[in-house]
Structure 1
Amino acid sequence: MTGVALAEELLLLAYDDESGKATMPRISLDLGMAAAVLIELALAGRVAYADGNLVVTDPAPTGEPILDEVLGRMAADTPHSPSSWVQRLRHGLRDRILATLVAQGVVRDVEETELGFIHVHRYPTADGTVEEDTRRRLAEALAGGQLPDEATAALATLVAVLRMEPALGLTGEAAVDARRRLEEIAGGAGFSGTVSLDDSVVRPSVALVVTALGQAVDAALGKRP
């Protein structure tokens, strides 16, 4: 683990450091952050796939406020499929994560008024060290031939599914190569591809969340060319 929530890393990658605005469709970002929380709970052994649903297997707090909030919500609710949870959790999640990052001094909350009455918020970077570490780990994963640590592999998987290669500063053939490597990492970590419930509990749980995310992104943005 990196000490930084997976959904927080994803959001920092998706927001421009200077303008403080999202650089990708917000619907896909919201879906991705919901999936990130579910994946992190699965990797922490708190939720698992069973009988078509994601269920809480260990309600013990993780110590991460947003993860624990979601964990409590899942424990109090009836079981739902990975796809259902991705949709249910995406609403309001980005605002809560941004508030956390503001409180931590990672980004600033800049409120502005447009057209004289519309209030908008920007979130430019205040402390770039967290995002710098995230980008460094991803760059090393892209350049290396070895499978990265589990947290980095999960992040790489989400970046690939969410079509976030431009957020890494990559376009054209470089973006195509990066996507190929990101998908290779996802497959090597057991986070995508053929799901076998006989192999493990955690990996299929993550892979099924990733599959649900991919379907939701395709539905929102259209199939990727």
Structure 2
Amino acid sequence: MTGVPLAEELLLLAYDDETGKATLPRISLDLGMAAAVLIELALAGRLAYADGSLTVVDPTPTGEPVTDAVLAKIAADTPHSPASWVQRLRHGLRDRILGDLCAQGVVRDVDETELGFIHVHRYPVVDPSVEAETRQRLAEALTGAAPDERTAALATLVAVLRMESALGVSGEAAADARRRLAAIATGAGFSGEVSLEDSVVRPSVGLVVAALGRAVEAALGPRR
């Protein structure tokens, strides 16, 4: 596997650079982490969606510890639906990915105590270059440039998790971003509205992203 893992990109977008605090509800972040790792496995050709379940088609490790731990867990289990896997995997993934980002020097762990005994962790950015590259790719996709399948998958997750505010927009600009993100998902075949044969991504990836998108949306409930 090459490049920055999708879950790391998503997590960096979801935390405020200065305060180091999450800008999304905990449940949204945790579901997003699970979906991102599963999509990473699909992008790497390790995971497929068939007959309502996610299955391992290639157990070869990718070289990324968090992703490979999930790969091994799925390979050792019986097939389960995308909805089942995002719930099974969401606990603990965020802390592991934050730990990896700290070890890489991308963010730092600020451990503070509130009320004398409650530990609160913040993760302000130390090296902004990783997130800057991610934001640049998304910005280009939002302004009309055709995204590659990794960027299209990331844009779909941002839409599913209702993360428009993490893109630094609000009001009508946020509504415009939401429409464009939805258009990217549709054009990539992730929404089920475009034939996967006409998609800009591999059908095997499109099926996984579409199934996980539906699972996360159902878990989060209606948009308020």
The alignment's TM-score, normalised by the length of structure 1, stands at 0.93
Q: CA RMSD in A?
A: 1.7
Cα distance between partner residues in 1 of 2:220 and 2:193: 19
* AA at the equivalent of 2:220: V
Shift of 1:119: 1.3
* AA at the equivalent of 1:139: A
C-alpha distance 135-197 of structure 1, shift in aligned 2 (>3 A): closer
Paired position in structure 2 for 1:202: 205
Cα distance between partner residues in 2 of 1:40 and 1:190: 17
Give 5+ residue unaligned stretches, structure 1.
none
Cα distance between partner residues in 2 of 1:87 and 1:184: 27
Q: Deviation per CA, 1:144-203, whole angstroms, max 9, x where unpaired?
A: 2x4201111111000111111111111111111111110111111112224878984332
Paired position in structure 2 for 1:33: 33
Paired position in structure 1 for 2:109: 109
Q: Percent identity among equivalent residues?
A: 75
SS at match of 2:174: helix
Paired position in structure 1 for 2:170: 171
Tell whether the 8 Å contact from 2:39 to 2:205 is kept in structure 1 after alignment: no
Shift of 1:131: 0.5
Tell whether the 8 Å contact from 1:2 to 1:151 is kept in structure 2 after alignment: no
SS at match of 2:45: coil
Give 5+ residue unaligned stretches, structure 2.
none
* AA at the equivalent of 2:90: R
SS at match of 2:121: strand
Tell whether the 8 Å contact from 1:48 to 1:201 is kept in structure 2 after alignment: yes
C-alpha distance 64-195 of structure 1, shift in aligned 2 (>3 A): farther
Number of matched residues? 220
Paired position in structure 2 for 1:216: 219
Q: Deviation per CA, 1:49-102, whole angstroms, max 9, x where unpaired?
A: 122210111001111111111000111111110000011110000000000000
SS at match of 1:94: helix
Cα distance between partner residues in 2 of 1:211 and 1:194: 13
Cα distance between partner residues in 1 of 2:2 and 2:175: 27
The alignment's TM-score, normalised by the length of structure 2, stands at 0.93
C-alpha distance 167-202 of structure 1, shift in aligned 2 (>3 A): closer
